[in-house]
Amino acid sequence: MTERTPLDGVDLLLADLDGVVYRGAEAIPHAVESINRAGESRAVAYITNNASRTPESVAKQLTGLGLEVSRDAVVTSPQAAVRLLSGLIPAGSRVLAVGGEGLHSELKLAGFEVTDSADDSPAAVIQGFAQDIGWVQLAEAAYALQGDGAELPWVATNTDWTIPTARGIAPGNGTLVSAVHLAVGRLPVVAGKPETPIFEEAIARFGGTKPLFLGDRLDTDILGANRAGIDSVLVLTGVDQAKQVLAADPNSRPTYLLENLAGLHEPYPPIRETAERDGSRVVTVGSAVVRMRGNVVSLVAAGDSRINLLRAASAAIWGSGLAIYGLEVDPELYA
C-alpha cells in the first residue's frame, strides 16, 4: 500500500507566514518550492496574525520570494478584527486604533473614522501590532477603556505572545494587549488565531471542503485550526520545537508533524503501537521506536529520522492520557 502524504485529498492549503514561509526577510528552506508545487492542484491562501502590514505588502513580499500570490490570497487579522468591529458599533463610527498601517488601512476601507486620542470620544478601541507602538499609544487605549468607556467595545487583532524574527524571538501583540489589560482590568474580543473568525473568512473566501493549515505555533496556529475543525501541520521551522510538541495539551496537537515543508509531498509514515506483556506500550514510526511504561517514556531505537522519533514519542505521550509534568521523558526524545 502506498503511504499517503499530508496533502492527499486537500483542496485548500492555508499557510501561516512568520516561521512557516519566511523568517525575517528570508524564505525558509523548502517553503517556496513546496507551496508552489502544492498550488499546482489546489487553492493556496495565507493567514497571518501580523497586524502591522497590508495584504498588498504581504503579497508583494511573498511574490518577491518566488511565490505566486495576489492580494486576495492574503487573509490578515486586521481584516478579521474590522469585520468583528462592524458588528459591534454603527458604520462610520470613530475608532481609537492602536496599530500599524495594516490595521489603519482596513479601518478606512470599512468606512470608520480613525483617531489616536481617547479625548476624541471613540466608539470603540481596536488594537494590533506595530514595531513602533510605545507607552503613549497604549496609555491612550487604557484611558479610553476606563471610566465612561468601561463598556466600550475593545477588539484585538491577535494575542500572540511572541513573534519570530531574523534575530530571534521577540515580544508579540499579546504582550501589548496584556499591558492594556493590566491597566483596565478587562479583556478584549480577539479576531485572529487561535480564534476562529480568521479561519472562517479564509474558507468562505476560497471555498474548499478539506482544508489543511500550516503553522509553527501550538498555542495559536494549531489550537486555532483545531477549534475551526481543520487538519493541521506543525512545521518545526519557527517557534515551537520538540519539547513543546511533547508537552502539547489535547486541544493543541497537530494532525501532522513536519521538519520542513518538503514533507508535504513525502509519504507520511503510519504510527504502529503494540502492547507488551509487562504492560508497556511500544510505538514505532519508521525505524524509530519509543517505549512507555507507567510514567516513564524511553528511547528504544532512534532510527534514521529525528522527525520520526518525535512522531513516535508524541504518539506515545499523547496516547497515554497522562499530563506531561507527571512523566519521566528521556531527554534524547526532545534533544
Tell me, what CATH number does 143's domain have? 3.40.50.1000
Say what the pLDDT of residue 280 is. 93
Query: Which residues 6+ apart lie within 8 Å of 134 measured at CB?
Result: none
CA distances from 134 to 126, 179, 311 (A): 15, 11, 42
Is 60 contained in some domain?
no
Are 288 and 60 in contact by the 8 Å Cβ rule? The answer is no
Based on the fold, state whether residues 93 and 121 are members of the same structural domain. Answer: yes
Tell me how far apart the alpha carbons of residues 52 and 50 are, in angstroms, rounded to a whole number: 6
Based on the fold, state whether residues 225 and 243 are members of the same structural domain. Answer: yes
Residue-number span of the structural domain to which 99 is assigned: 78-190
Based on the fold, state whether residues 186 and 222 are members of the same structural domain. Answer: no
Q: Write down the pTM of the prediction.
A: 0.86
Q: Look at 72-81, 155-164, 303-312 and tell me which has the smallest mean pLDDT.
A: 155-164
Based on the fold, state whether residues 198 and 225 are members of the same structural domain. Answer: yes
Tell me how far apart the alpha carbons of residues 101 and 117 are, in angstroms, rounded to a whole number: 17
Is 220 contained in some domain?
yes
CA angle at residue 219 from 216 to 220, to 5 degrees?
Answer: 70
Residues 290-314, mean pLDDT to the nearest whole number: 96
Average pLDDT, rounded, for the chain: 94
Residues 65-76, mean pLDDT to the nearest whole number: 94
pLDDT for 2 beyond 70? no
- Per-residue pLDDT tens for 199-249? 988 988 898 899 999 999 999 899 999 999 999 999 999 989 999 999 999
Is 131 in a helix, a strand, or coil?
Answer: coil
Based on the fold, state whether residues 84 and 178 are members of the same structural domain. Answer: yes
Is 122 contained in some domain?
yes
Query: How many domains is the chain built from?
Result: 3
Is 59 contained in some domain?
no
**What is the grid cell recorded at 57?**
505588502
Is 108 contained in some domain?
yes
Query: Which residues 6+ apart lie within 8 Å of 192 measured at CB?
Result: 49, 51, 77, 80, 81, 156, 157, 158, 159, 160, 198, 220
pLDDT for 198 beyond 80? yes
Domain boundary among 245, 265, 285: 265
Tell me how far apart the alpha carbons of residues 236 and 29 are, in angstroms, rounded to a whole number: 12
Based on the fold, state whether residues 294 and 258 are members of the same structural domain. Answer: no
pLDDT for 47 beyond 90? yes
Say what the pLDDT of residue 167 is. 86
Is 219 contained in some domain?
yes
Based on the fold, state whether residues 276 and 252 are members of the same structural domain. Answer: no
Say what the pLDDT of residue 204 is. 85
Domain boundary among 265, 282, 305: 265
Is 65 contained in some domain?
no
Q: Look at 86-95, 165-174, 303-312 and tell me which has the smallest mean pLDDT.
A: 165-174
pLDDT for 303 beyond 80? yes
Based on the fold, state whether residues 158 and 203 are members of the same structural domain. Answer: no
Q: Which percentage of the chain shows pLDDT scores above 90?
A: 86
**What is the grid cell recorded at 31?**
517553503
Based on the fold, state whether residues 233 and 315 are members of the same structural domain. Answer: no
Is 22 in a helix, a strand, or coil?
Answer: strand
CA angle at residue 4 from 258 to 252, to 5 degrees?
Answer: 40
Based on the fold, state whether residues 181 and 239 are members of the same structural domain. Answer: no
Q: Which residues carry out catalysis?
A: 16, 18
Residues 186-201, mean pLDDT to the nearest whole number: 92
Based on the fold, state whether residues 225 and 281 are members of the same structural domain. Answer: no
Based on the fold, state whether residues 39 and 87 are members of the same structural domain. Answer: no
Is 70 contained in some domain?
no
Query: Which residues 6+ apart lie within 8 Å of 279 measured at CB?
Result: 293, 294
The better pLDDT of the pair 122, 162 is held by: 122
Domain boundary among 139, 164, 190: 190
Is 198 in a helix, a strand, or coil?
Answer: helix
b/e code 189-226 from CB counts within 10 Å (16+ = b): ebbbbbbbbbbebbbeebebeebbbbbbbbbbbbbbbb
